[in-house]
Amino acid sequence: MASRRDPVEEASDGSHDLYDIVTWEERSSLDGLSVAVHWLVVRSAKAAVVLVALLILLTIVGQIGLGIFVTPAVGVLTLLSVIPALGLATYVWYADVTEREPLTLLVATFLLAVLTAGFAAVINSSARPLFVSLGPLGVVLFYFVIVAPVEESVKLLAVRLYAYNDTRFDAVINGAVYGAVAGLGFATIENSLYIIDNVDAAELGVGVGLVGAGDGIAALRALAGPGHVIYSAFAGYYLGLAKFNPSNRGPIVVKGLVIAGLLHATYNSTVSIGSGLIAGLTGLPPNVAFVVYITLFVGVTGGILFAKIRRYREAYLEVTTEPGTDPPTPPKPR
């Protein structure tokens, strides 16, 4: 939808001062006050969201026990579990053909994703009993109606709260980078909580016992992590597209969330059936079939994401390279 103008402004030849009639800019002290109040309201709202997210996370950690949460074993297992997701997020960052995104914005996005994950935990746990009571179909609906939309939205919220408004977010592809980092942050806290919930506290000691207690769980979570990066990179790309197409911002953001949500929910709904079919058709052990299915799903969805990033790269090089000259030098960190 194109930006609309008032008929007076549209017919004006520019010789009339239409300030406060059909156009507006900051001129008077009242205008300045209005700008300041708007700035304060927006920043306060964002701060409130972050504060609530922090309180939710602290509540979750408090229920588990801070002592368990900060044990070296949990840190080691969590780190091992996010290595594939970290590698994928690093690739998306490296594939940004414009400029490397600054570490400050990347770290802020990661931490905000860790915080906003609490919103998803509360909503998912509250809605789950209602859907589970409906049987297998209810579980599928739960994935499509609650889990995927909520988790993809809170990951995108982590980007929207800070990096999105920074002047260094200056290209559509940047959205994919910050989306991928948000997915990494979400996967990190999710894996950490899952590990704590599934490894006996007595086994959480650094040493040989640690390997026996948590290596299987870490491996399982390592398989789930890349999906979070891929889905939120899609949503982030469209958030970047929306930033540079403000007249269609809302529908573009929704499109990105729909794509990410459908991929996410499809994975959740099919991973058990798909791995079961692979095991039945090939005779592979269930665990191996599980790995095969996830690898195939991540490979296909990741391939689609990489193709989208490659299209941006090709378009960028095409419009920025003069005929007969070398392509632009590789981007450097800012």
Q: What is the pLDDT of residue 204?
A: 46
Whose structure tokens read 């891929």? 230
- Could you report the per-residue pLDDT of 213-225, keeping only the tens digit for each? 444 556 667 778 8
Give CA–CA dist 50/119, Å, rounded. 11
What is the predicted pLDDT for the residue at 330? 58
CA–CA separation, 273 vs 118, rounded Å? 29
Mapping DSSP onto H, E and C, the string for 265-297 reads: HHHHHHHHHHHHHHHHHHCCCHHHHHHHHHHHH
Mean pLDDT of 157-177: 96
pLDDT tens digits for range 77-109: 788 889 999 999 999 999 999 988 999 999 999
Domain locations along the chain: 30-320
Average pLDDT, the chain: 87
Return the closest-CA partner of residue 201 out of 80, 79, 74: 74
pTM score over 0.85 = yes
Three-class SS state of 205: coil
pLDDT at residue 40, as a whole number? 96
Q: In the predicted model, what is the mean pLDDT of residues 170-190?
A: 96
